[in-house]
């Protein structure tokens, strides 16, 4: 048996600076932290207001209230019916989908990277010493729960179908026949981009084909995998764009529903 030769005990270079980087490495985490905070504050206020979430005339429902299942929901907004009696919005009307949407984004591989860097600062930027004395990563509770991401992905597919239905409803004019305005287009663009975000998910990439060893034996799944992989390369972009479109879609519905804005119609 050969014995590996032990190198003499040596130590790392003792450099006290946290980093010797001279480029503005702190900018990206600050920007990410600011944008995520603004978004979370906006969304929190909106889901608890319980107003201006539906435009009955044009059938516009904001994604933050879909499916509207509280007894409080105004007529026409509840595609899936009322699941509990009217209680004021201490419970968001779409709580059944919001928990999954929130869970999907919180366990998303991209958002994990974003908030670990921006908020937890582990690490804030590469080759910049992190401020924590101990580090166990995603090996323990609660972060080991990140491994449940694929279940949130399955639920996100269901929610994407629901939002597609909502977007289709937004193409009905006041008389119930086909018609559309700026709002319809915003809701449609939002749902298309949400499909982009959902299908570019790393769990989706694994499930559709990434888990295989032999691509050549599964040509169809291989083909799907190549398409999902192409989307997956833009997952970060989808993550940010959909935060923007969700906020825009909600803001637009809010403005039209409150009467602050009248929806320019192209047809009916």
Q: Which residues bind another protein (CB under 8 A)?
A: 4, 7, 10-15, 19-23, 109, 112-113, 116-117, 122-123, 126-127, 129-130, 132, 134-139, 143-144, 147-150, 202-203, 205-206, 210-211, 213-216, 222, 232-233
The residues, any chain, with a CB within 8 Å of residue 197's CB and separated by 6 or more, are 235, 238, 239, 241, 242
- Smaller CB separation from another protein, 77 or 203: 203
- Smaller CB separation from another protein, 78 or 232: 232
Among residues 55, 49, 57, which one has the least CA distance to residue 94?
A: 49
202 binds ligand FES (CB under 6 A): yes
Grouping H, G, I as helix, E, B as strand and the rest as coil, residue 247 is helix
Grouping H, G, I as helix, E, B as strand and the rest as coil, residue 28 is helix
- Smaller CB separation from another protein, 34 or 148: 148
110 binds ligand FES (CB under 6 A): yes
116 binds ligand FES (CB under 6 A): no
Among residues 36, 69, 35, which one has the least CA distance to residue 53?
A: 69
Q: Which residues from 223-242 bind ligand FES, rule CB under 6 A? A: 235
Greatest distance between any 2 Cα atoms in the chain = 87
Two tokens, residue 49? 């207001």
Tell me the Cα Rg of the chain.
Answer: 23
Sign of CA dihedral 178, 184, 188, 191: negative
Residue 201 binding partner per list another protein, ligand FES, none, with a CB distance cut-off of 5 to 8 Å that depends on partner kind: ligand FES
Q: Where are the alpha helices (DSSP H) in 91-218?
A: 95-106, 109-115, 149-169, 182-199, 202-205
- Smaller CB separation from ligand FES, 149 or 172: 149
How far is it, in rounded angstroms, from Cα 181 to Cα 159?
24
- Smaller CB separation from another protein, 123 or 183: 123
Two tokens, residue 31? 């920007």
203 binds ligand FES (CB under 6 A): yes
What is the smallest separation between the CB atom of 111 and ligand FES, expressed in angstroms?
A: 7
Binding map of ligand FES across residues 30-69, x = CB under 6 A, - = no contact:
----------------------------------------
- Smaller CB separation from another protein, 16 or 262: 16
Q: Which residues from 129-158 bind ligand FES, rule CB under 6 A? A: 149, 153
How far is it, in rounded angstroms, from Cα 124 to Cα 113?
10
User: Of 23-31, 104-112, 118-126, 243-251, which part binds ligand FES (CB under 6 A)?
Assistant: 104-112
For residue 142, say if its preceding peptide bond is cis, omega within 30 degrees of 0: yes
Binding-site ranges for ligand FES (CB under 6 A):
104, 108-110, 149, 153, 201-203, 235
């Amino acid at each position: 048996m050969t014995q590996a030769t032990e190198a003499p005990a040596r130590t790392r270079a003792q450099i006290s600076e946290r980093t010797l980087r001279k480029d503005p490495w702190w900018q990206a985490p600050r920007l990410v932290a600011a944008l995520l905070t603004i978004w979370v504050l906006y969304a929190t206020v909106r889901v608890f207001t319980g107003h201006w979430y539906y435009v009955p005339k044009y059938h516009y429902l904001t994604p933050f209230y879909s499916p509207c299942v509280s007894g409080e929901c105004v007529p026409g907004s509840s595609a899936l019916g009322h699941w509990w009696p009217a209680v004021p919005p201490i419970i968001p009307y779409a709580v059944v989908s919001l928990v999954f949407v929130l869970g999907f984004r919180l366990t998303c591989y991209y958002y994990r990277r974003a908030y670990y860097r921006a908020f937890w600062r582990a690490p804030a930027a590469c080759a910049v010493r992190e401020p924590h004395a101990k580090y166990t990563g995603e090996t323990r509770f609660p972060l080991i729960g990140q491994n449940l991401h694929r279940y949130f992905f399955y639920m996100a597919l269901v929610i994407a179908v629901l939002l597609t239905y909502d977007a289709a409803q937004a193409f009905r004019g006041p008389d119930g026949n086909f018609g559309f305005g700026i709002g319809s287009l915003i809701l449609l663009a939002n749902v298309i981009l949400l499909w982009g975000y959902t299908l570019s998910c790393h769990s989706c990439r694994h499930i559709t084909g990434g888990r295989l060893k032999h691509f050549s034996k599964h040509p169809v799944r291989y083909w799907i995998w190549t398409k999902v992989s192409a989307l997956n390369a833009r997952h970060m972009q989808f993550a940010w764009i959909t935060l923007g479109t969700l906020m825009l879609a909600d803001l637009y519905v809010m403005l039209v529903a409150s009467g602050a804005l009248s929806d320019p119609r192209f047809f009916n």
